[in-house]
Amino acid sequence: MSGIFITGTDTGVGKTFVTLYLAEKFRRDGINVGVMKPISAGPDKDNDAVYLKKKLKLDDPIELINPIRLKHPLAPYPAAKIENRKLKIGKIIKAYKELSKRHQTVIVEGLGGVAVPITKTYCVADLIHDLNIPAIVVARAGLGTINHTLLTIGALIDCHVEVIGIILNGFTGKNVSEKTNAKVIEELSGIPVLEKLKWTT
C-alpha cells in the first residue's frame, strides 16, 4: 500500500514510537519507507517530525515531512487561532503526494485522537479520509482501552476510513485486563490486534 495513517485513542499512547517501529520493520523487509507528521505543535527543535527524520536518517526535507508547524502545544484549531493562521489542508495533501513519489510507502503519524480539530469543521479523521489511506489505531493495553478503542474505530468508520489493525502499547501482561482486552476488542470490532508492544508513553 502507498500509505498508512498511525492514529491513536489519545495523546501520549505512543504513536511516534509505533511509527518508528513500523518504519524500521518495513526497512528490514526491503521496503523504501518515508514518514510524515502533517502537523506539529510545540518547539521546532523538539517535535516528533524532527525526531523521526533524525532517527531514520531521512533525506526528505522537513518541510515535506512536517508541512505545518504550530508554536503552541495545543490541538491545531486553537493553536492556529492563537497564531491568527488559517491552516491549509491542501498543503498537507500536496506534501503527502510528493513523499509518495519518493517512497514505496509513507507512514503518516497523526496528532492526538481522531476527533482532534484541525479547523472548526475538520478533524483528524477527515484528514485520514482525504489522504485516502487506511489507519492503524494505537491504544493503551490496560484497563479502559476497550471503550477508547471502540469509540475511535467507530469515529473512523463514520468518516469512511478503513481500519486495518490495532496495536496495543504498554503491554506488560501482568493484569487481567491486559490478558483479555485484545480478544474482546477483536470480537466486538472485527478488527485484528496486530501487535502488543511493551513500550509505553
Residues belonging to the active site:
37
Beta bridge partners of 41: 70
Count the Cβ atoms, other than its own, within 10 Å of residue 111.
21
Burial of residue 32 (number of CB atoms within 10 Å: 0-12, 13-18, 19+): exposed
Beta bridge partners of 193: 166
Torsion-angle region of 71 (φ positive above 0: left; ψ -120 to 50: alpha; else: beta): alpha
Contact 59, 78 (CB under 8 A): no
Could you tell me which residues come within 8 angstroms of residue 28 by beta carbon, excluding any fewer than 6 positions away? none
Take residue 37 and report the three cell numbers written for it: 507528521
DSSP 46: G
